[in-house]
A and B are shown apart, each in its own frame.
Chain A
């Protein structure tokens, strides 16, 4: 065992256990409630607006490395595509990550198939753009296509401000989400709705109620309760000169 990683392993094992227990419990009882996430509720509104105005939407992924935020965003893309296919809106999907380009294509195609409109799927609406120059290309896309709504999700860096504000300037409604705290201020200041940090990861549960996702969210919730409890107890102990809890977490 690598030194200093016991507490991390304990955390991971406990997390997996809670995930499975909560998932099974939901399958048995069917009971689950989650608080509202306004940013996700607004997606339907955005698609409806696009259909009414006859102008397209744009879904743009962040240019940071592919990781869990990207997967969470793919999940949201799936939902958006289904709504777009259902209401005959148009959606430009832009990814600066070549690795997820094939996934975006498949997600968009299967959304149209699911809605019984495979003939409406147009792969030209899914574009890979090189990360660096995508900033300029996306700005061009916003104005040329006169987008009515923009969804900015994933691992965002400085382009967050540029895209969010440029979208507002063409009159597009904007929904954004990232877990990168250094970009959140710009999304919050410039977008109509922002999924802050962990809200991005709760999107899957919010949209589907899939048991394993509910299990995972329950595990996240348990971890936060544990974190709050540990912080308060740890700080109280440290105030009396006892570092035992801090030391346990160093193992």
Chain B
């Protein structure tokens, strides 16, 4: 067994967290709280570094506009004072507005237009036809308004639309399950690769059971 303190710490932390798999216990609880403490400290250190480099240093260099995010950041604490709590909506609105802008611009091409474009492939064989039809079927799973079951006196067109969407959506659900299965299978294989280094730490580096 090793005498290296670091390996011991690593092994104990690993075992402590794995012990949850048996059941929640004091050893796990100790490691969980230690990990939480370290994790929070690390994030605060990183956050402080961000504030220092992106705000304070720039402010010291005369970039007075940087005072805006600092003031907005401070306003988050207004929620501690009931009468001024509404002020904390300003920084929240800033975060939410920016995040919305960033995500919209991020998905509009890659998530929508490029996907539609990629589906416009020439149908040259069974596989390409299957991909196209299955894409349409899977997309119809996400129809919420179109093709709902008609109620009351309705025309034959609506009934036909409902039947087409229902059939397509049924097939689409099966397509989605195949997709999930494929992703599941690939991920299990990848996760096996993550488990092996943990075993190496415990049985090779720590107790020298394997070499």
Contacts and interface: CB of A to CB of B under 8 A. Distances in A.
A232 B32 contact: no
Contacts of A196: 141, 176
A181 B31 CA distance: 32
A124 B30 CA distance: 21
B39 A246 contact: no
Interface string A148-160: 0000000000000
B89 to A, nearest CB: 9
Given A129-B36, A182-B183, A234-B116, A140 B29 contact: yes
Interface in B124-165: 124, 132, 135-136, 139-146, 148, 151
A89 to B, nearest CB: 23
B53 interface: no
Interface stretch (B1-9, B56-64, B107-115, B195-203): B107-115
Give the dominant DSSP class at B's interface: helix
B88 interface: yes
A106 interface: yes
A235 B145 contact: no
A105 interface: yes
Nearest to B78: A102
A231 B122 contact: no
B24 A221 contact: no
A42 interface: no
A239 B122 contact: yes
B121 A140 contact: no
A33 interface: yes
B84 interface: no
A184 B96 CA distance: 25
Contacts of A8: 108-109, 113
A12 B108 contact: yes
B79 A184 contact: no
A167 B116 CA distance: 38
Give the dominant DSSP class at A's interface: helix
Given A223-B112, A232-B132, A249 B79 contact: no
Nearest to A133: B39
B119 interface: yes
B18 to A, nearest CB: 11
Interface size on A, as a range, is 35 or more
B170 interface: no
Contact of B32 (A35, A71, A133, A234): A133
A50 B100 CA distance: 34
A207 interface: no
B139 A245 contact: no
Interface string A174-192: 0000000110111011000
B181 interface: yes
B17 interface: yes
Contacts of A5: 109
A208 interface: no
B28 A103 contact: no
Contact of B184 (A136, A185, A245): A185
Nearest to A233: B120
A133 B120 CA distance: 44
B211 interface: no
Nearest to A205: B144
Contacts of B184: 185-186, 189
A14 interface: no
Given A136-B31, A238-B120, A221 B39 contact: no
Contacts of B83: none
6 contacts: A5-B109, A35-B143, A181-B179, A184-B183, A245-B120, A249-B113
Given A35-B148, A136-B35, 13 more contacts: A33-B145, A34-B144, A67-B99, A102-B92, A130-B36, A133-B38, A143-B20, A224-B143, A231-B135, A231-B136, A234-B119, A245-B120, A249-B117
